[in-house]
A and B are shown apart, each in its own frame.
Chain A
């Protein structure tokens, strides 16, 4: 059983399109995250939710909208995709907001053409 699973693994799309990435964790954790890894492999937090409530919202364009229907799911919707959005997006979870032991999904490689 995969602990943190995200889909799709690869996403290739045209500029201007809207796309979603889904994430689910079966660890019973309360806190979930979205991280972006750029072409230089730098990992930067985008959002964090604790029990469906947004607790961290970094300076991310409002074209990015996370949604957490329940604490086991955190989806990321991106509107009007731009070339600069191309990156690998990682979902992660931890058992609480102050627990730094994150469990990561295997990533979604987004390519915007």
Chain B
């Protein structure tokens, strides 16, 4: 089945640093999304990308839909303690109607 490889698996950074994480797939997706999961909560949508090459920002977050439609990255600039959590990429294929999640990147921010 379709799989997404997300890296890195975890990151431990200093407050104020920039963060980058990415997601690759062997399959093409029509939509890429990035979700964040806080401890004890469900994932919350951060950014949705709909076109190859699209670059979208949401505050300090920037995400891009890869040209090949098989990858995406998420950048977080000037990290703050509340950025702590698990970040998931997800790909949606219109032919399956399913949202496939990556394994997640656990981010820890040291004040």
List chain A residues, Cβ under 8 A from B48: 100-101
Q: Report yes or no: A104 in contact with B98, Cβ–Cβ below 8 A.
A: no
- Total A-B residue pairs with C-beta atoms closer than 8 Å? 51
Given A40-B103, A41-B86, A43-B88: A105 and B97 interface contact (C-beta under 8 Å): no
| Residue A66 is within 8 A (CB to CB) of chain B in the complex | no
| Residue B67 is within 8 A (CB to CB) of chain A in the complex | no
Least distance between B88 CB and chain A CB atoms (Å): 7
Roughly how many angstroms separate A43 CA and B57 CA in the complex, as a whole number? 25
DSSP majority for the B interface?
Answer: strand
How many positions in chain B have a CB within 8 Å of any CB in the partner chain? 22
List chain A residues, Cβ under 8 A from B41: 106-107
Q: Report yes or no: A42 in contact with B92, Cβ–Cβ below 8 A.
A: no
Bitwise interface map of A from 41 to 68 toward B, beta carbon under 8 Å scored 1, else 0:
1111100100000011000000000000
